[in-house]
Amino acid sequence: MSNAIETRAVQRRMNKAFEIRDLALNVPSGSIYGFLGPNGSGKTTTIRLLLGLLRSSQGSIALLGRSVPADMPHILARTGFVPERPHLYAGLTIGEAVRYHSAFYSAWDAERAESLRRQFRLDPSQRVGRLSKGETGKLLVLLALAQNPDLLVLDEPTDGLDPVVRRDVLSALLDYVSQCGATVFISSHLVHELERFCDWVGVMDDGRLVAEMPMGTFKNGIKRLRVLDGPAVVDDAPFTLLAREPSDGVSAGEIWVVRDWQASMSQYFERVGASLREVVDLDLEEGFVELLRTFRSPNA
Amino acid sequence: MFSEVDPRSPTPLYDQIASRIRIAIAAGDLVPGRSLPSVRHLASRLRVNPATVVQAYRALAADGFVEMRQGSGTFVCEVGTGRKESERSAQARQLVRGLLSEAARRGLSAGDVAAAFRAELGSEVE
């Protein structure tokens, strides 16, 4: 499978305290890729590097098989971008903003723009500068989808929007993907939102990509176990032990957080004379928190 | 039956969608020959990946609950009474299994749950 986004060994120092280091992203074509990370982990900086808004000091970046920044005009013609902060002229009306944008894209779909405008209940005569946060969010998504992109890059597209607007925006996005099969690269710190529809996840922390895998793998491999009489030292376990905590005081036994878990591994506990009482699936948010915690611990 | 799915549940999303449709067919809410929503429509409505809806429809087709016709959509099949009954009991048992493991987590025994069941059902009958 080819990658819609591929970066190799990308570096960029932003200031003394923060840099993007050795970034190797692989976003498969046709995937919906969730780009997760806490605030300040480098998600927006990475997106700016991908779109040529910032130059990397080392490494290579390719979007849709073309290289950044050399082939930028080709790439931008086929890439829809929803930035974290709006980049629209406040004095234009919605109708004018749509017409203005349409002039830049040869694949512009005026019919889709109009149908989304109605679906989002945006008034074409209203000034962009006077729109609410929700209306601005919808307009940005409309503009990105109407250019008929093969790749959509969305930087926190629903941040700060109310649940109703969020739902409208995501429905429109998924409708477009079902219809056109575009690749979506979406950054968010709203983990639950991504859990519904992403099939790949990448996790950033402190300027580094600390994990990248299919969503199914990410969600399946991380479990919370309740263990009675666990061995003092765990050195030959078939899974990776991420954390080990004393009992929560409600039920007996230690809590182990593990990764790369498979059901057959319960035999391990019999072998070491312990007993496995419970295996709990962690959802994406819990898995994400545990992943960051182990990554940040000094002995990891 | 095409209402919310729960992304936090350990049951995969495709499985949640397929189960709801299966039980609707077993209960007779979806009659043979009726078409299911298009993949595009359902993905957008549930805000899930279109591939997840396709996976749910494929699982239903593999069980003989629906038929996917190239280009025209996905249609409910005729399902025998025996199949309907076994689907209903399979789903009921799945619910009970979930309930029992939740009860165990809270330190309740199977006996406690059974007694509660009898009490609840008894009051319902009266």
Query: What is the full per-residue pLDDT of chain A (300 aa) written as tens digits?
Result: 599 999 999 999 999 989 999 999 999 999 999 999 988 899 999 999 999 999 999 999 999 999 999 999 999 999 999 998 888 999 999 999 999 999 999 999 999 999 999 999 999 999 999 999 999 999 999 999 999 999 999 999 988 899 899 999 999 999 999 999 899 999 988 888 888 899 999 999 999 999 899 988 887 778 888 898 888 888 888 988 877 888 767 778 888 888 888 888 988 998 888 988 888 878 788 888 887 877 776 554
**Same domain for B97 and B67:** no
A286 at B interface, C-beta within 8 A: no
**Same domain for B56 and B92:** no
In a domain, B53, yes or no: yes
Interface A-B, measured as beta-carbon pairs within 8 A, has a size of 54
For B1-126, where are the alpha helices, taking DSSP H only? 13-26, 39-46, 50-62, 81-105, 110-125
In a domain, B7, yes or no: no
**Same domain for B52 and B17:** yes
If you average pLDDT over residues B19-43, what whole number do you get? 91
In a domain, B5, yes or no: no
**pLDDT score for A247:** 75
**Same domain for B66 and B38:** yes
Q: Is the model more confident about A290 or about B46?
A: B46
**Same domain for B108 and B63:** no
Which CATH number belongs to the domain containing residue B22 in this structure?
A: 1.10.10.10
**Same domain for B115 and B62:** no
In a domain, B17, yes or no: yes
**Same domain for B111 and B67:** no
Amino acid at site A270: E
**Same domain for B72 and B17:** yes
In a domain, B113, yes or no: yes
pLDDT of B44 > 90? The answer is yes
Q: Best of A1, A115, A188, A196 to disrupt the B interface by mutation (most B CBs within 10 Å)? A: A196
Give the range of the structural domain holding residue B90, as residue numbers without chain letter. Answer: 81-125
Q: Which residues of B touch A177 (CB under 8 A)?
A: 43, 49-50
- Chain A from 169 to 228: CB within 8 A of any B CB: 170-172, 174-175, 177-179, 192, 195-199, 216
Contact B52 A179 (CB under 8 A): no
**pLDDT score for A263:** 82
C-beta separation of A131 from A141 below 8 A? no
Closest CB from B13, B45, B105 relative to A171: B45
In a domain, B61, yes or no: yes
**Same domain for B87 and B57:** no
C-beta separation of A164 from A12 below 8 A? no
**pLDDT score for A220:** 73
Q: What pairs with residue A226 in β-bridges?
A: A255, A278
Domain count, chain B: 2
Dihedrals φ, ψ of A176, to 5°? -60, -45
**Same domain for B100 and B47:** no
Q: Is the model more confident about A288 or about B31?
A: B31
Nearest CA in chain A to B48: A197
Q: Which residues of A touch B6 (CB under 8 A)?
A: none
In a domain, B118, yes or no: yes
d(CA A95, CA A5): 32
The answer for residues whose C-beta is within 8 angstroms of residue B6's C-beta and 6 or more apart is: B16
pLDDT of B1 > 70? The answer is no
In a domain, B1, yes or no: no
| pTM to 2 decimal places | 0.84
**Same domain for B53 and B96:** no
**Same domain for B107 and B70:** no
A125 at B interface, C-beta within 8 A: no
Neighbours of A178 (CB within 10 A): 21
